Structure 1
């Protein structure tokens, strides 16, 4: 990486580790939950299902359904090659993930990465989730640097949008 930055923040799933989550099963569970409340969930996608559950007043139950799958997936996760880079950094490192904070911490611990990370922000850490910039900005603030001095590394268009909205640099994994 050739960029001159004061800190690097990474996405988790698909970037540092691969969570072993059956997202289709999670989506089926969310669909069942919503339909039990009389909401037609058929045309909705995974994260839209969570938003619909929040709108219906059952967001906590839906979030816990997702979080439990993520925690289990974190316990069974596999380490990706980019994770080796964390210990080689000479700037502060953080993680900002759409996954629940508990799952992020479980995955980092499982792969002996927690000691390399100065900030962990996951779903539930702040009231907003990616691509809202607040999650990434919370990680940036905890690292004690300015957003424009940060490189956010991720694997999705949502990560890129988050970086744009937060005013950080972005790099695809």
Structure 2
């Protein structure tokens, strides 16, 4: 990108912050709740289990999906409250992108994103958050398009910073330049403000 972007879109977990969520325990709980609801789950992940419970169309499964979703959100918020932040990325944003608008596109919940942004001192600078459940998951470009439309920014004037092939594919699908977070720098630190 030759000119500075008008909008920098950040992935959350693995890019801006490192959320230490105990996914192993959450997967075990998800499997148990799916079995108790009588729902077979094809993919073993927590989020895919929530989707399968919702799709089952049974009151017991819907209740289990809601409880599991709330439990995941709680674990993510707690992890965000104690997360390590990418100090190198925060420094890059402050020094190299001081005029750019900021947005977050994440598979994490909205509350976790807000908590991590507050911890990073970016809560007042991030105008748009698209979190889990608010758009189809990356690599689908829907969430990124939503951010662009909300900020009245064209794809060529935005930049997505992420840490994965899924982030890169999302950017490519939306026609937005992609910058791997490693190119900016990764320095995980606790953050005492």
Instruction: Identify the TM-score tier after normalising by the shorter chain.
Output: 0.7 to 0.9
1:51-70 per-position Cα deviation (integer Å, ceiling 9, x unaligned): 32332243433322221111
SS at 1:99 equivalent? coil
Aligned residue pairs, count: 171
Residue pair 2:9, 2:161 contacting (<8 A) in 1 also:
yes
Cα displacement (A) at 1:129: 2.8
TM-score by length of 1: 0.86
Residue pair 1:31, 1:42 contacting (<8 A) in 2 also:
no
Q: Which residue of 1 aligns with 2:188?
A: none
* RMSD, aligned α-carbons: 2.1
**Which structure: larger Rg?**
2
Q: Which residue of 2 aligns with 1:39?
A: 39
Residue pair 1:93, 1:143 contacting (<8 A) in 2 also:
no
1:152 & 1:127 partners in 2: Cα distance?
A: 16
Give structure 2 stretches of 5+ with no counterpart: 182-193
Give structure 1 stretches of 5+ with no counterpart: none
Instruction: Map 1:1-173 to 2 at 5 A.
Output: 3-4=2-3, 5-41=5-41, 44-57=44-57, 58=62, 59-81=65-87, 82-88=89-95, 89=97, 90-124=99-133, 126-173=134-181
TM-score by length of 2: 0.78
1:68-106 per-position Cα deviation (integer Å, ceiling 9, x unaligned): 111111111111121232333122111111100111001
